[in-house]
Copies of this chain bind each other. A is one copy, B any other.
C-alpha cells in the first residue's frame, strides 16, 4: 500500500467552471455537515475515494453492520452557475506530515479537474454556547473579499488569531503557490459540540455564493435536537458554577504564549 491511495470510480470527468468545496471534520463539524448536506441535496456523484496511512487505522460500521475503511471522498455535481467538486471525509490526517501530503493530493486532483477556485468550510470556536449567525472569512487573495462580503461573510483583521489549522488552512496556503484562489469560510460555533445550527448559517452563505437554493430541513431538525442538549448543558453548568475565580481578560490572554 502506498502512503495515499486515490481510487478513481469514474473516467473522463468533464466539468464546467468547477469549484472545489472542502468540508472535512473539524471544529463543531460545521464544514463537514455543510459539505455532506450539499452532497445529499444536490445528489452529487461519488467519483473518487482516497485512502491513506495518514488516516487513523480504523473501520466505520454502517447501518447494515457492514464496515469500510476510513477515507476521504470526492463528489461532483452541477449547478446553474458552476460544477461543484465536493471533498468530504471521515477524518483529517492524523500526522502533520500527512496533512501536507494529502493537501497536495487534493490539489493535484483539483488541478486535473480544472478547478480555479476553492472554498474550505469550517467552524470558528467562540468558547460560548450562545449561537450567532456570523460566518468569518479568510482568503489567499484579497480580490475575493468584496464578493464574499456581499454574500454575508465577515472579515476581521488577524482572525482567527491562532491561524487556521488543518486542511482548511493548508489548502489556502498551498493553493496560493498554484495560482488558485481560495477562501476559508468559518461558521461561529462553541467549539464543544457538533453544531448543525452554525452549519445552517454557513449553508446560507454558500447558497448565495453559488447562487443555488438548498432545503435546510435535515440540518434544521438536527439543530433542534442539539438545542435541547445545549439547554441541558447550560443548566448543568449553572449548577456547577460556584464563585467565579479571579480571571484574566481575553485581551490579557493574547499575550500569554
Q: Which residues of A contact B (CB under 8 A)?
A: 1, 29, 53-70, 93-97, 99-101, 103-104, 137-142, 145, 155-161, 163-167, 169-170, 172-174, 176, 184, 192-194, 225-226, 229, 232-233, 235-236, 239-240, 246, 248, 252, 255-257
Instruction: Say how far A15's CB is from chain B's closest CB, in angstroms.
Output: 25
Complex contacts, A140 vs chain B, CB 8 Å = 66-68
Kindly report how many copies of this chain are found in the complex they form together.
4
> Could you tell me the distance in whole angstroms from the C-beta of A173 to the nearest C-beta in chain B?
3
| A192 CB → nearest B CB, Å | 7
Residue from the set A139, A173, A240 with the largest chain B CB neighbour count within 10 Å:
A173
Chain B, Cβ-Cβ closest to A107 = B1
> Measured between alpha carbons, how far is A159 from B67 in the docked complex, in Å?
10
Residues in B whose Cβ lies below 8 Å from that of A226: 255
Q: Which residues of B contact A70 (CB under 8 A)?
A: 163, 173
The answer to whether residues A257 and B139 also contact, given A93-B57, A101-B53, A170-B57 and a CB cut-off of 8 A, is no
Asked if A169 and B58 make an inter-chain contact with CB atoms under 8 angstroms apart, the answer reads: yes
Say what secondary structure dominates the interface of chain A.
Answer: mixed
A59 near B97 (CB under 8 angstroms)? Answer: no
A229 in contact with B246 given A93-B57, A163-B59 (CB within 8 Å): no
Q: Judging by beta carbons under 8 Å apart, are A57 and B257 in contact?
A: no
| One of B67, B240, B256 near A172 (C-beta < 8 A) | B67
Name A174's closest neighbour in chain B (CB-CB): B69
Smallest CB–CB gap between A104 and chain B, Å? 5
Determine whether the beta carbon of B145 is less than 8 Å from that of A65.
yes
Chain B's nearest CB lies how many Å from the CB of A170?
A: 5
With CB as the reference atom, state the residue of chain B lying closest to A235.
B246
Would B252 and A229 count as touching, CB distance under 8 A? yes
Report the bound CA distance from A234 to B153 in whole Å: 41
Please determine whether A69 and B194 come into contact, CB atoms closer than 8 angstroms: no
**Which residues of B are found within 8 Å of A157, using beta-carbon distances?**
62-65
* Contact (A58, B1) CB under 8 Å given A67-B140, A256-B193, A257-B194: no
30 A-B residue pairings within 8 Å (CB atoms)? A53-B100, A54-B97, A56-B96, A57-B103, A57-B169, A58-B165, A58-B170, A60-B163, A61-B161, A62-B157, A63-B158, A64-B142, A65-B145, A65-B157, A67-B163, A67-B172, A67-B176, A67-B184, A68-B140, A68-B176, A69-B170, A69-B173, A192-B256, A225-B255, A229-B248, A232-B248, A232-B252, A236-B246, A236-B248, A240-B246
